[in-house]
């Protein structure tokens, strides 16, 4: 069975002092129209108003600042983690190689390259690209860093919860679950500083490896993933992130792609906010399971909005 890892809220507080300020102090806003549509009191933490349009810059910035100039880095990404690393590596003049799947969001791939990363496309999904990245790093004796495995990713994500809960506690915080860094980082802060708040992970029904592994207490690998939410489409769970979930996650719920698209449309209609599928997963849980949150005070991070024009036309027109 999994044993708890050792993230602490004190480490998250320290991380706030090290992360590039461009990713910090993001808005958190209530929209009455959304509250009426969803039947709860919802606060959105807007993590898209930064140079990479996602929350990943927090952890990536912290990792690169702590890495210093100790040589090139190698990683794998569906796009947003890679953008965060590319932005931070560019500012610190650290060479970066990213592996992504051949079907990765072309906008995210282009932005990783624009930010200075060398990007290789390999494999049919994120986890195949990740395996190739690890092999590449080992063969070249370079450091491989992973979202969900390196502590800085979770500590950076935890600073979102530190900001979110500074004004008032919530009944529940709903957090997208991919590799686990966002959920474990936010969950660590909340459970250590506001233990009565429920921490709920939200996964795509077509990508349930992390959720199934958490329930079973051991890693469970899936043969494939099937969801539009590329940012949380994980087939091979990260054991380190699974350990971090112990004791900080109260529940995990699944949402289908239909609920995700409905959430994206609600966010655009009532809040004027563009969200990619993974970024809207928390709101999708409110759409899919409204009875669970009716009348509750709920918070959700809106954690990415890197969409191609074709995706906007297909899902939001």
User: Which tens digit of pLDDT belongs to each residue from 146-156?
Assistant: 999 999 999 99
* pLDDT over threshold 70, residue 144: yes
CB-count burial class (<10 Å; 0-12, 13-18, 19+) for 47 = buried
**Distance from the first to the final alpha carbon of the chain:** 46
Which range has the worst mean pLDDT, 64-73, 126-135, 297-306?
64-73
Q: Which pLDDT band holds residue 317 (cuts at 50, 70, 90)?
A: confident
Taking the CA atoms of residue 210, residue 211, residue 213 and residue 216 in that order, the dihedral angle to the nearest 10 degrees is: 170
Q: Which pLDDT band holds residue 68 (cuts at 50, 70, 90)?
A: confident
The domains located in the chain, with CATH, are: 9-53+151-316 (3.40.50.1100), 57-144 (3.40.50.1100)
Contact between 182 and 174 (Cβ < 8 Å): no
Q: Which pLDDT band holds residue 2 (cuts at 50, 70, 90)?
A: low
pLDDT for the residue numbered 69 = 78
Task: Tell me how far apart the alpha carbons of residues 277 and 302 are, in angstroms, rounded to a whole number.
Answer: 10
pLDDT digits (tens, 9 = 90+) for 106-120: 999 999 999 999 999
SS (HEC) of 76-97: ECCCHHHHHHHHHHHHHCCCEE
Average pLDDT over residues 151-176: 95
Average pLDDT over residues 213-230: 96
pLDDT for the residue numbered 3 = 55
Distance of CA 312 to the CA centre of its chain: 20
Count the helices and strands in the chain (H runs, E runs). Answer: 14, 10
- Select from 148, 140, 138, 88 the least CA-distant residue to 117: 88
SS (HEC) of 100-159: ECCCCCHHHHHHHHHCCCEEEECCCCHHHHHHHHHHHHHHHCCEECCCCCCHHHHHHHHH
Which range has the worst mean pLDDT, 79-83, 88-92, 166-170, 270-274?
166-170
Average pLDDT over residues 226-251: 95
Average pLDDT over residues 93-105: 97
CA atoms within 13 A on the CB side of 286: 31
Q: For the chain, what percent of residues have pLDDT higher than 90?
A: 94
pLDDT mean across residues, the chain: 96
Average pLDDT over residues 174-197: 97
pLDDT for the residue numbered 139 = 98
| Gyration radius of the chain over CA positions | 18
* pLDDT over threshold 90, residue 54: yes
Q: Which pLDDT band holds residue 175 (cuts at 50, 70, 90)?
A: very high
Q: Output b/e per residue, 199-222; b: 16+ Cβ within 10 A.
A: bbbbbbbbbbbbbbbbeeeebbeb
pLDDT for the residue numbered 146 = 95
pLDDT for the residue numbered 5 = 60
pLDDT for the residue numbered 167 = 78
Task: Work out whether the CA dihedral 16, 17, 20, 24 comes out positive or negative.
Answer: positive
pLDDT for the residue numbered 83 = 98
Contact between 211 and 175 (Cβ < 8 Å): no
């Amino acid at each position: 069975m999994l044993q708890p890892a050792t993230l602490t809220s004190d480490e998250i507080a320290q991380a706030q002092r090290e992360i590039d300020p461009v990713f910090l102090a993001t808005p958190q806003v209530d929209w009455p129209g959304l509250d009426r549509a969803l039947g709860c009191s919802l606060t959105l933490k807007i993590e898209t108003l930064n140079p990479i349009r996602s929350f990943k810059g927090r952890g990536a910035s912290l990792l690169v600042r702590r890495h210093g100039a100790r040589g090139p880095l190698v990683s794998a990404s569906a796009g947003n983690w890679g953008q965060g690393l590319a932005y931070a590596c560019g500012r610190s003049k650290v060479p970066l190689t990213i592996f992504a799947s051949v079907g990765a969001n072309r906008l995210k791939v282009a932005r990783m390259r624009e930010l200075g990363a060398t990007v290789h496309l390999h494999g049919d999904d994120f986890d195949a690209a990740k395996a190739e990245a690890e092999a590449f790093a080992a063969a070249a004796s370079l450091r491989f860093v992973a979202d969900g495995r390196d502590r800085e990713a979770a500590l950076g994500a935890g600073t979102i919860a530190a900001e979110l809960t500074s004004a008032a506690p919530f009944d529940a915080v709903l957090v997208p679950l991919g590799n686990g860094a966002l959920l474990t980082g936010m969950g660590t802060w909340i459970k250590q500083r506001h233990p009565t708040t429920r921490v709920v992970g939200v996964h795509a029904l077509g990508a349930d490896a992390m959720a199934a592994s958490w329930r079973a207490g051991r890693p469970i690998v899936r043969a494939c993933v099937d969801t539009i939410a590329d940012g949380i489409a994980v087939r091979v769970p990260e054991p380190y992130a699974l350990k971090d979930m112990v004791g900080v996650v109260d529940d995990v719920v699944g949402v289908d792609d239909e609920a995700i698209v409905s959430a994206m449309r609600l966010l655009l209609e009532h809040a004027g906010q563009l969200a990619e599928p993974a970024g809207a997963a928390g709101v999708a849980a409110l759409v899919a399971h409204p009875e669970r949150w009716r009348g509750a005070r709920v918070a959700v991070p809106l954690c990415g909005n890197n969409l191609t024009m074709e995706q906007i036309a297909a899902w939001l027109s």
